[in-house]
Amino acid sequence: LCHTALAEYTKFPEGFTFGVATAAHQIEGGWNENGKGENVWDHLSHNRPELIADGSSGDVATDSYHRYREDVEELAYLGVDFYRMSFSWARLLPNGRIDNVNADGVRYYNELLDALAAHNIEPLVTLFHWDLPQALQDLGGWANPHMIDYFRDYADFCYKTFGGKIKSWITFNEPYEICEDAYGDILKAPAVNSHGVGNYLCSDTLLKAHAEAYHLYNETYKPVQDGKVMISINSIWYEPKDPSNAEQVVLAETANQFKFGWFAHPIFSQQGGYPAVMIENVARNSAAEGLKRSRLTQFDEYWTARIKGTSDFLGINHYTTHLVTGAGVDPGAKSPSWLKDVGAVVSTDVGTDSASAWLRVVPSGFANLLRWCKRSYSDPPIYITENGYSDRGELMDYKRISYFNDYLSEILNVINDDGVRVLGYTAWTLMDNFEWRAGFSERFGLYHVNITDPALPRTAKLSADYFKQLIANRELPKENKYKEPAITKV
């Protein structure tokens, strides 16, 4: 696999937009300042610090609660069209409910949105990027169906309060990670670890909550505010280890239906509801376990219709590709579990590496994913809402640049060769930040942040320069002046 060949296409189409992303809990800090309530990540990092690689937390993070003006200066320097950010639910509504509004939270986001507007940077705001108010978690969080109402109320509050300044909304960031990693495992807060059960209770509630927030905007706010609402779904794209092995080909498709299709199929497919193979596998395993009902609740007619079509764009977060190596129960699968329900053995032994064990560099997988989305979901308009590479924070981050360049080149290939409608691209992330359970040990930023200096100074990496040029020219660099200098042997 050679990814350094000169790109066939270099120019981005007219109207294609570029941005960078962050998430509130990863950058804001100020975790208990001026009325903010505790969220599930505050709770996890304070009560189970052993679960965070470097024992760190989001207490201070990159201190964007105080330093947001610096962030906006960096965004202006990069020349981005838009900034993808998220609201901290517990900063706005400390107990999660609308009977207790934190005025300081409203002030903070208004100032940030005004600073963006002053630089002509469009906000793209995510309502939920994983930081659930702990008060709602105490009631069961996303496993509690009443969350549909709490989320709709929160969305309503945000549309009403900030909707005049925001034209693009994302309801949920990465529903798979919310349900599987946080309820079906301990990889994300609140680390419920109800594998094979809590994960599916979560998806039932989350998809309904998403649909309600979408319909609310469409009916009540869109006529006045004229904006769009979407969801961002993460894909680990699965490919057969041996493409000539028919069983592996089928299983890779099954894995993609379980991973991306779990949330995309109910919203973007013609039929709606969960993918057939998911319904089948979970029902079969549930019966074998002696259960009376499938662990995966199906949507009835009302909800199938109500969830279908509730996203103006398909938001895709994409980082990596993994392999399916055969049938059976993956050695890492708990019982019961999502992975056991998939029924495939998976491997990360593909491409080149990064600082994150899960993140392998496989640009061709990105193109395959995008073509698959076009085929599976009737050619939806697509925004790439995250894409990025981790290292240990080097300033001369040649590998990040080559990752961006190769992945962007695949976007151009599918736009030009396959007519995939990719409308915009978002780099993850503006600056090194609190990388969840990895703490600050894995870094994805265009800007370096020195977390040992209390002033938390930000320094542009070489990739910031690359991204700035890319946006200014709307074109991949013809000659790669960002290539790592060859090491001369003496």
Distance from C-alpha of 31 to C-alpha of 90, rounded to nearest angstrom = 9
Please state the separation of Cα 80 from the chain's center in Å: 19
Q: Is 187 an interacting residue with respect to ligand GBH (CB under 6 A)? A: yes
Decide whether 157 or 444 has the Cβ nearer to ligand GBH.
444
CA distance 380 to 312: 9
* Site map 6..45 versus ligand GBH, x via CB under 6 A: -----------------x--x-------------------
Cβ neighbours of 438 (radius 10 Å): 18
Catalytic-role residue among 38, 174, 435, 442: 174
Span near ligand GBH by CB under 6 A; candidates 47-55, 174-182, 244-252, 463-471: 174-182
DSSP one-letter code for 227 = -
Which of 214, 221, 260, 444: binder of ligand GBH (CB under 6 A)? 444
* Site membership for ligand GBH, residue 386 (CB under 6 A): yes
At residue 229, the 3 state secondary structure works out as strand
Find tokens 């079969």 and name the residue. 284
- Nearest distance from C-beta of residue 334 to ligand GBH, angstroms: 13
Active site residue 180: no
Q: Between 7 and 449, whose beta carbon lies closer to ligand GBH?
A: 449
Q: Counting contacts by CB under 6 A, is residue 357 touching ligand GBH?
A: yes
Q: Distance (Å, rounded) from C-alpha 335 to C-alpha 343? A: 12
Q: Is 386 a catalytic residue?
A: yes
Euclidean distance between CA atoms 411 and 416, whole angstroms: 9
Name the residue nearer to ligand GBH (CB basis): 153 or 174: 174
Helix-helix angle 276-288:246-256, to 10 degrees: 90
Beta strand 382-386 with 314-327 is parallel
Query: Considering only residues 212-271, where is the footprint of ligand GBH by CB under 6 A?
Result: 234
Question: Taking CB under 6 A as the rule, which mask of x and - marks residues 306-335 in contact with ligand GBH?
Answer: -----------x-x----------------
Least gap, CB of 356 to ligand GBH (angstroms): 6
Find the shortest distance in angstroms from Cβ 319 to ligand GBH: 6
Q: Residue 361: which residues within 8 A CB-CB, separation 6 or more?
A: 3, 320, 351, 352, 353, 354, 389, 403, 406
| Residue showing tokens 């992303």 | 21
| Closest alpha carbon to 82 in 335, 483, 427 | 427
The interface region with ligand GBH, picked from 61-69, 169-177, 217-225, 369-377 by CB under 6 A, is 169-177
Give the pair of three-digit tokens for residue 60. Answer: 């201070």
In the complex with ligand GBH, the residue whose CB is nearer, 427 or 476, is 427
Catalytic residues: 174, 386
Residues that bind ligand GBH in the complex, under the rule CB under 6 A: 23, 26, 173-174, 177, 181, 187, 234, 317, 319, 357-358, 386, 428, 435, 437, 444
